[in-house]
Amino acid sequence: MNWDDTTDETAPERLVGSVADGEDQAVEAALRPKDLGEFIGQEKVREQLDLVMRAARARGATADHVLLSGAPGLGKTTLSMIIAAEMNAPIRITSGPAIQHAGDLAAILSSLQEGEVLFLDEIHRMSRPAEEMLYMAMEDYRVDVIVGKGPGATAIPLELPPFTLVGATTRAGLLPPPLRDRFGFTGHMEFYEPLELERVIHRSANLLDVEIDTEGAAEIAGRSRGTPRIANRLLRRVRDYAQVKADGVITRDIAAAALAVYEVDVRGLDRLDRAVLQALLKLFGGGPVGLSTLAVAVGEERETVEEVAEPFLVREGLLARTPRGRVATPAAWSHLGLTPPQAAQTGNGQQDLFGT
C-alpha cells in the first residue's frame, strides 16, 4: 500500500520526523502501514524483502541495498520506511533531482549512522558525478572527496559506516548497469488488482473512522487505476461528499455520485485523460497525430500528456503509440460513446461516463 510520496526535492536531505504541511500529508503519514504484515499487495516483493531482512538480522549485519521500481503510488516510499522499521534503524530521505553535485551526496553519506537506511527517490535522475561517487559508497563503504582543483587537486578517502541504500525509480531502464548491479535485491512493484484495492480502502476507511460498505469500496477501487495512492485520495474526496451531501456512509451510489463531481469516470479517467481522447477522436479523427500537436490541442505541456495521461491510456487499451503518432483504439471510441468515421452511423451511441 502506498500513499503520496513525501520526498522534498528542494533540499538535499530530509529527516522523516520533519513536520508535514497540510492535512493531506498528515493523513497520508497516518495511513502508511508500519510493517510488512500491514502492507497489502505486492506478495512476491514482500516475501523476498522479508527473507532479505530476516537473514540480515540473523547475521547481525546491515541489509543489502534495495532497488524498488514501478509506477508512482504503488508503495516504494512506504516499503523503504518499513525496511528501516524492520531493521530497527533510522531512515533519511532524499531524491535524485536534489543531488546535483557529488558534494551534495558526500555530505549526506558522511553524516550517516551505522545501519541507517538512505532512501533515494527517483534515483535515475541523479547527476552523473554523484552517481559515480555512489558506486564506491555502495560497494566499498567509502568515498573519495576531491580537495582543490587542477594539478594540485587531492583525493581524500573517507570511510563510511555500513548503511542500506533503498533506491526507487519509475524508469528502471534509465539506470546504468554499474549502478543497477550494485543492488543486492531488486523488486518490481506491480499495479494492484481491484480486490487488493478494496482491502486498502477498507483499511484506510477504518483508520479515518469512515463507514463504507463493500459495494462502495468496490466502486472506488474500480476507478483507482490500480494504484493505492489514488484509491486513498479518492476515498478522502468521497468521504467529504458523503459528509456534506449524505449521512456520512459511503455506498455504491454515494461513491459514484461523488466521483462524478470530481470528474473521475467509470474506468478511472479524469479530466485530462478524457481531454486527450476527445481531442484525438474529435479533432484528428482518431489519429495518427504527433504528441506535440496533441498536447497543444488540449492546452497542456508535451511532458504532461506523455508522462501523466498517456501511460494509463495505453495500459487501458484506449490509445496506441505508433511510428506515425498516437492512435485511438476502438475501445476509445466506445468509451466516449462515439462512432468511428469509417463505421456506419447507427445512432449517437452516447453513454453516461460517470454513471454505473
304 is known to lie in a ligand binding site: no
Angle of helix 252-261 relative to helix 214-222, nearest 10 degrees, comes to 30
Which listed residue (7, 62, 77, 164) is catalytic? 77
208 is known to lie in a ligand binding site: no
Which listed residue (14, 76, 199, 233) is catalytic? 76
Find the Cα–Cα–Cα–Cα dihedral 77, 81, 86, 90, rounded to 10°: 140
43 is known to lie in a ligand binding site: no
Which listed residue (164, 169, 170, 251) is catalytic? 170
CA distance 29 to 138: 29
Per the annotation, the verdict on 356 as an active-site residue is no
31 is known to lie in a ligand binding site: yes
Burial readout 296-331 (b: 16 or more C-beta within 10 A, e: otherwise): ebbebeeeebbebbbebbeebebbeeeeebbbbbee
282 is known to lie in a ligand binding site: no
302 is known to lie in a ligand binding site: yes
Strands (E), 45-137: 66-69, 91-95, 117-121
Beta bridge partners of 187: 68
Helix (H, G, I), strand (E, B) or coil at 129: helix
192 is known to lie in a ligand binding site: yes
CA distance 87 to 13: 21
Per the annotation, the verdict on 128 as an active-site residue is no
Which listed residue (121, 265, 270, 273) is catalytic? 121
Per the annotation, the verdict on 76 as an active-site residue is yes
Helix (H, G, I), strand (E, B) or coil at 166: strand
Residue 102 is placed in which grid cell? Answer: 557529488
Residue type at 178 in one-letter notation: P
73 is known to lie in a ligand binding site: yes
Per the annotation, the verdict on 121 as an active-site residue is yes
Which listed residue (229, 233, 239, 274) is catalytic? 229
326 is known to lie in a ligand binding site: yes
CA distance 94 to 158: 21
CA distance 232 to 213: 15
35 is known to lie in a ligand binding site: no
321 is known to lie in a ligand binding site: yes
* Residues flagged as binding site: 31-32, 73, 76-78, 139-141, 182, 192, 229, 302, 321, 326
**Residues recognised as catalytic:** 76-77, 121, 170, 229
* Residues flagged as binding site for DNA: 302, 321, 326
